[in-house]
């Protein structure tokens, strides 16, 4: 199934457009006006992951929800899908939209990309609300790391040639991954179909395979080896994490205290991995509190 044959789900008040970013067409959903806030989704989702949070913020903010390369209705070109490239796509999108500085909310892989963005381009991000993701600074090696790494079993399956694409294109498998560990019933059948349908495209399934294969073979060893050991987070940050998460262990979020100027972690016992869908009011409330009103992100004309 081609992506242009998959109908876009509807969220009241949101408009859609395609933006060219270095030759990759990125789909962007937008709503509201005012200081811009960028929302980055994770796997196996796309812009629609923010369907409950975006309306809560759009009354006071310009809410911008792109589909990352290989996801949703954005292009899915061949490639390794390393997270640094996906982060550079985001910077290119901000440039194309004429946005000098934004607030950031990001989940899962989007949150990993968000940490890269805030470390590499701190001048572009006023505040960062990260959702359910490890920080860039792993805990020291210990026997406790074994069960933490064991949670990555599904990533090994997804990264495996032939098997990975078959699993990703299988609707029942993706639905189980989304709903597993949820505390609150956050998805209708139609909403789950909105996430699974684009992944039935061979190009998007292959992009997901490369997303995980690149991480396991190239990025995870560097991360565990201290790739970001000498990098400091200067963007004011809150990591909001549902403790029922079956993929990301809240007891091993990393040594962020010694690497961040202003960062807090808040654990929520009544949410699984997809906290923006289970607890949208909480996420929107924490975003408002973190972002505040004193520092308005700047815009610049599109060149």
Return the CATH number at 121: 3.40.50.1820
Q: What 3-state class would DSSP assign to 232? A: coil
Say what the pLDDT of residue 303 is: 29
Give a yes or no: residue 298 inside a domain: no
Is residue 34 in a domain?
Answer: yes
Can you give the residue range of the structural domain that contains 24? 11-291
For residue 300, is it within any domain? no
* Burial per residue of 146-181, b for 16 or more beta-carbon CB atoms within 10 angstroms, e otherwise: eebeeebebbeebbbeeebbebbbeeebbbebbeeb
**Residue ranges of the chain with pLDDT lower than 70?**
1-5, 143-145, 293-303
Residue 36 covered by a domain:
yes
User: Is position 296 within any domain?
Assistant: no
pLDDT of residue 267: 97
**Structural domain contains residue 4:** no
pLDDT of residue 1: 44
Q: Is there a domain that residue 174 lies in?
A: yes
Q: Please name which of 160, 135, 129, 155 lies closest in space to residue 249, comparing C-alpha atoms.
A: 135
Which structure tokens are listed for 188?
Answer: 């209708």
Q: Say which DSSP state 184 is in.
A: S
Which residues are within 8 A (CB) of 278 and not within 5 positions of it... i.e. 6 or more apart? Answer: 182, 183, 184, 186, 242, 270, 271, 272
Counted domains in the chain: 1
- Per-residue pLDDT tens for 125-165? 999 999 999 999 998 877 666 777 788 888 999 999 899 99
Q: State the pLDDT at residue 144.
A: 67
Residue 3 included in any domain: no
pTM above 0.85, yes or no: yes
Joined together, the tokens standing for residue 36 give 């811009």
Residue-wise pLDDT tens digits, 83-105: 999 999 999 999 999 999 999 99
- Which residue, 204, 216, 213, 165, is CA-closest to 77? 204
pLDDT at 4: 54
């Amino acid at each position: 199934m081609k992506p242009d044959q998959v109908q876009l789900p509807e969220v009241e008040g949101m408009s859609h457009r395609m933006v060219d970013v270095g030759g990759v067409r990125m789909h962007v959903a937008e709503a509201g006006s005012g200081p811009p806030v960028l929302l980055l989704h994770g796997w196996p989702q796309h812009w629609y992951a923010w369907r409950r949070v975006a309306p809560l913020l759009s009354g006071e903010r310009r809410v911008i929800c792109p589909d990352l390369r290989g996801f949703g209705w954005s292009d899915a070109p061949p490639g390794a899908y390393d997270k640094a490239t996906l982060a550079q796509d985001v910077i290119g999108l901000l440039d194309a939209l004429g946005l000098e500085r934004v607030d950031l909310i990001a989940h899962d892989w989007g949150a990993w990309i968000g940490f890269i963005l805030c470390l590499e381009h701190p001048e572009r991000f006023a505040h960062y609300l990260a959702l359910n993701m490890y920080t860039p600074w792993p805990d020291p090696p210990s026997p406790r790391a074994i069960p933490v790494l064991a949670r990555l079993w599904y990533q090994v399956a997804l990264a495996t040639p032939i098997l990975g694409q078959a699993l990703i294109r299988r609707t029942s498998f993706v639905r189980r991954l989304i709903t597993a560990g949820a505390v609150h019933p956050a998805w209708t059948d139609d909403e789950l179909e909105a996430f699974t349908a684009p992944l039935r495209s061979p190009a998007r399934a292959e992009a997901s395979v490369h997303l995980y294969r690149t991480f396991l073979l190239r990025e995870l060893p560097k991360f565990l080896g201290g790739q970001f050991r000498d990098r400091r987070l200067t963007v004011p940050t809150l990591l909001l994490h549902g403790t029922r998460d079956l993929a990301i262990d809240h007891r091993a979020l990393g040594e962020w205290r010694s690497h961040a100027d202003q960062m807090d972690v808040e654990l929520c016992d009544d949410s699984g991995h997809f906290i923006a869908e289970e607890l949208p009011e909480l996420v929107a409330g924490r975003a408002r509190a973190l972002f505040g009103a004193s520092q308005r992100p700047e815009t610049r004309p599109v060149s």
